[in-house]
Structure 1
Amino acid sequence: MLEALLWGGIAASSLVVGALLAVVRSWSDRTVGIVLAFGAGALIAAVAFELAEAGLELGGPIGMGIGLAIGAVAYFAADRAVERRSGRRGGGATGFPLVLGALLDGIPEQAVLGIGLVAGNGVSLALLVSIFVSNLPESIGASADMRADGRSKRFVMLLWLGVAVLCTLAAIGGRILAEVAAPPVVATIDGIAAGALLVMLIDAMIPEARKKAGDIAGLATVVGFAVAAGLSLLGE
């Protein structure tokens, strides 16, 4: 349990780090876009080498497929609900929808991190790096938006601290669930995380990285993929 708390806290800490970086200085769109693209590449590797592979081994294609469908539809529906309430597509991104987005993809990510600890192989470095890096641009962008809207530094930091705590608790919850649930159930949870992440990547993260970083976004994505894939292979 303490191990899940430790690694979950480390992964979620980048949300607070990103908020801190945003309140102490401003960052160019290009810099944020490069970090975003690197994180997207790392998440693609995590989905392929960690979530999908583990899910297929535990529950086969049916359990994995059910999880993919649930995760994809759940993220799609929740994200569209946020968009309708905030007018995000018509009026540009604002801080609070981005915070909600961090929760939508952060909780299943962290739950899978906790699930992986039960296998006895330790934490997945590839997944840990993917979560840590992809969290940074989300929290930097959302914090900058909230500061521009007049929110205090204290409010921004406390908000992200709360999100980080919830994500850390998800890692603990994932470990507990993996200890009591049958392998097909764990496989479905892997699929849910993979489905949610894939929709998030294509719908939000990759387009935003391209918009902010320009032509270099593709190269940064490949670097992120290579780093996370290498870590995954080293951990085997």
Structure 2
Amino acid sequence: MLTMAITVLVVSGALMIGAAWGIYGRLRPGLEGFLIAMAGGALLVSLVTELVEPSIEESALPVALAALAAGAIVFALVDYWIDEKIGADSGGGLLAAITLDGVPENLALGVALIGAGAPEVAALAGSIFLSNLPEAAGGAREMKEGRSKAAVLGLWAATAALLSAAAIVGNLLLVGASPHLLATIRCFAAGAVVASLATEVFPKAYKEDRNWAGIATALGVVLAFALDALGGG
């Protein structure tokens, strides 16, 4: 329970730190793009090593791949609905997209914590932290147009609470679940995150910092492998 509390606090805290940075601090577009690309590279490697590969070992390969594809399809459909109905550049659209990304991430994090110690989840938690921080900073910076700083910070606080709840639900309600079910959930979450990287993270990183986005992504990959080694992967 202590490991779960600390991990959820660290991961969701990144949203509040990033939001405060975006609202009250200065964030140059180039720096934002660099950080987002680095976070995307770290998260891509981490979701493969911490979610997909263990799930394939615990379940049938066709089931794992089908769940992965389903997660990507669901994210893509909902993301399309957000773009059409809410607006990709509106505050509500940004918040909805990050929430949709974060819920499966944190649900998977809660599942990964079942029967695991702190070192074993360091890679996944660290990568999600790196992803949440620049996403929240960029989103909050755009959302503060036409809104008070307190209102924007309150929205991000509510989002952090929701994502924390997802991790707790994943950890508490799925204790004793079959390895096949847990593997399916992990792969579904991984598919949603892969789709979000392709449609939200890397395009934004390249737009803001096209000269260094590739290097930043590679740096994120190196960082992810370092975190994976720390977790004993």
- Output the TM-score relative to the length of structure 1: 0.93
Match of 1:223 among 192, 203, 219: 219
**Equivalent in the alignment of 1:213:** 209
Change (3 A) 1:25 1:120: closer
The answer to whether the 8 A contact 2:87-2:93 is kept is no
Structure 2 Cα separation of the partners of residues 85 and 5 of structure 1: 36
The answer to whether the 8 A contact 1:5-1:171 is kept is no
Change (3 A) 1:74 1:151: same
Alignment of 1:32-181 (within 5 A): 32-88=32-88, 93-122=89-118, 123-148=120-145, 150-181=146-177
Alignment gaps of 5+ in structure 2: none
Greater percentage in helix? 1
The Cα of 1:235 is off from its aligned counterpart by 1.4
Structure 2 Cα separation of the partners of residues 5 and 80 of structure 1: 34
The Cα of 1:188 is off from its aligned counterpart by 0.5
Identity %: 34
CA RMSD of aligned residues (A): 1.4
Give the letter for the 1:57 counterpart.
E
Give the letter for the 1:165 counterpart.
A
Structure 1 Cα separation of the partners of residues 62 and 177 of structure 2: 17
The Cα of 1:2 is off from its aligned counterpart by 4.2
The Cα of 1:26 is off from its aligned counterpart by 2.7
**Equivalent in the alignment of 2:14:** 14
Q: Please give the secondary structure, in 2, of the residue aligned with 1:79.
A: helix
The Cα of 1:3 is off from its aligned counterpart by 2.9
The Cα of 1:144 is off from its aligned counterpart by 1.3
Give the letter for the 1:139 counterpart.
A
Q: How many residues align?
A: 231
Give the letter for the 2:106 counterpart.
Q
The Cα of 1:66 is off from its aligned counterpart by 2.5
Q: For each residue in 1:162-219, what CA deviation from the matched residue of structure 2 results, as whole angstroms up to 9, or x when unmatched? A: 0001111111111123313111000001101110011111112111101101110000
Q: Please give the secondary structure, in 1, of the residue aligned with 2:65.
A: helix
- Output the TM-score relative to the length of structure 2: 0.94
The Cα of 1:12 is off from its aligned counterpart by 1.0
Structure 2 Cα separation of the partners of residues 25 and 121 of structure 1: 35
Alignment gaps of 5+ in structure 1: none
